Amino acid sequence: MSKSKGKAEEASNLRNFILGWQDGLVNVLGIVLGVAIATTNTQIVLLAGLVATFAESLSMAAVAYTSSKAAKDFYLGQLKREMQSIDQIPEEEVREIREIFYEKGFRGETLEIIVNTITSDKKLWAKTMMTEELHMFPEDYEKPGKSAITVGISAIVGSLIPLVPFVFLGTFEAMIASVIVSASALFVTGGIKGKLTLGSWKRSGVEMVLIGLLAAVVGYLIGLLFGRVITL
**Residue 17 domain-assigned?**
yes
Does 54 reside within a domain? Answer: yes
pTM for the predicted model, two decimal places:
0.72
pLDDT the model gives residue 113: 92
pLDDT of 230 > 70? The answer is no
| Residue 148 pLDDT | 86
Could you list the residue range(s) of the whole structural domain that residue 198 is in?
Answer: 13-139+155-231
Q: What is the pLDDT of residue 226?
A: 67
The region of weakest confidence among 4-18, 134-148, 154-168, 195-209 is: 4-18
- Whether residue 150 is contained in a domain is answered as no
pLDDT digits (tens, 9 = 90+) for 168-199: 888 889 989 998 999 998 898 888 777 776 67
Each residue's pLDDT tens digit, 80-113: 888 898 999 989 988 999 998 998 888 888 988 9
Residue 194 lies in a domain: yes
Looking at the predicted structure, is the pLDDT value of residue 5 above 70?
Answer: no
The answer to the question of residue 118 being in a domain is yes
pLDDT tens digits, residue range 10-52? 666 777 788 788 888 888 888 888 888 878 788 888 998 999 8
Residue 145 lies in a domain: no
d(CA 219, CA 208): 17
- Long-range CB pairs of 31-35, under 8 A, 24+ apart, other chains included: 31/219, 32/162, 32/163, 32/166, 32/175, 32/178, 32/219, 33/162, 33/175, 33/178, 33/179, 33/216, 33/219, 33/220, 33/223, 34/219, 34/220, 34/222, 34/223, 34/226, 35/223
Q: What is the pLDDT of residue 42?
A: 87
Residue 199 maps to a domain: yes
Q: How many domains does the structure of the chain reveal? A: 1
Would residue 170 count as lying in a domain?
yes
pLDDT tens readout for residues 58-77? 888 898 888 888 888 888 88
- Maximum Cα–Cα distance across the chain: 86
